[in-house]
Structure 1
Amino acid sequence: MSFRLAAYAVCIEDGRVLLARHVSPVGESTWTLPGGRVEHGEDPFDAVIREVAEETGFSAAADRLLGVDSRVIPAAEARAGVEHQNVGVFYRVHITGGRLRPEPNGEIAESVWTKIADVTALRRSSLVDTGLSLAEALPATGHVDPVPVGGLIRH
């Protein structure tokens, strides 16, 4: 089983959420939250700010920890073909500066502000739904029920 620790930004302003369009090496496009792998020795709190800057061009500040999500992706559905566990640390962030742009030499083709009501019509990662659910519920445990994958929702 492979393993990844990642940090994700939930940035909501004026009824819109900041989303990033990830394009896989085979050209498949999926909307997700800005964020990604926590580097060896890096604090997830620092990683989420770094990832927002890398993927969107924005500077950001973390407002609060929203929660932690752990999911196991079966080998048949995982990119590398082996069972994979992703542990995601979700933060509520706000933008402090910068200018929106695609990720240079990366897998994020664009980032956009999207009305929250429009998210359900997008082909998206389950991370989007998890992050929005955490931001809405603010559960004391920092945990929400897993988001079912299928239809427009992907791992």
Structure 2
Amino acid sequence: MCDPLKRHRLVVSVSVIKDNEVLLIKENKPTAFNKWNFPSGRVEHGEDNLNAASREVKEETGLDVELLNTTGIYYFVSDLNDQVILFHFIGEIVGGTLRIDNEEIIDSKWVKLNEINNFTNLEFRNSMVLKQIFDALLSQKSYPTTIFKEQLNNR
């Protein structure tokens, strides 16, 4: 029997890279107050993962990004005990201006990739998976976004 309190979440996140720095945002959500994370969020019903990732970056930062690569797909149980499948992308800025929405985001910062390890686990949302992503970024281990097939339409 399925526990109704355990949910499955399909989530996207993006490492926005500029001049060997990555953009982190500090969340202002009741479930992740004052925690650093990548711009991220849930994939909406019927939405393509790549479109969802670009949309989340735009909503949370005001930036338009081109998704260049992916560090992979991560499966984990979140801090809230949700089962999560996370698609993480690497993007570069192609437009927009950095601005944060104070309702959901309280701060942002550009961090040099080699300084990521200066943060403690407690400062990150779901730190175990973020550390895996940071390791992939530092080792430049990524895959082209073409591994994701075009969304199928049942119509």
Match for 1:63 among 49, 53, 68? Answer: 68
Cα-Cα RMSD:
2.1
Name the aligned partner's letter for residue 71 of structure 1. Answer: F
Residue range with higher mean Cα deviation, 125-134 or 34-43? 125-134
Q: Distance in 2 between matches of 1:27 and 1:94?
A: 26
Which of these two proteins has the greater Rg computed from alpha carbons?
2
TM-score by length of 1: 0.75
- Residues 71 and 90, structure 2, Cα contact 8 Å, conserved in 1: yes
Unmatched runs of 5 consecutive residues or more in structure 2: 1-5, 144-155
For residues 32 and 11 of structure 2, the distance between their equivalents in structure 1, rounded to whole angstroms, comes to 23
Contact kept, 8 Å, 1:56 with 1:110, in 2: the verdict is no
Q: Deviations over 1:92-128 (max 9, x none)?
A: 1101111111125x31112221122332233113243
Q: Which residue of 2 aligns with 1:149?
A: none
- Closer/same/farther in 2, CA of residues 95 and 27 from structure 1, 3 Å limit: closer
1:21 and 2:26 equivalent?
yes
Deviation beyond 4 Å, 4+ runs, structure 1: none
1:124 match:
124
How many correspondences in the alignment?
132
Which ranges in structure 1 are unaligned for 5 or more consecutive residues? 141-155
String of CA shifts for 1:10-65, please: whole Å, max 9, x gaps: 12222211111112327830100011100000011000100000001111110122
Contact 1:20 1:112 in 2 (8 A): yes
Specify the code of the residue in structure 2 equivalent to 1:56: T
Deviations for 1:50-98, whole angstroms, at most 9, x for unmatched residues? 000000111111012221000024xxx52xxxx3111100111101111
Q: CA deviation at 1:8?
A: 0.8
Distance 1:118 1:46, change over 3 A: same
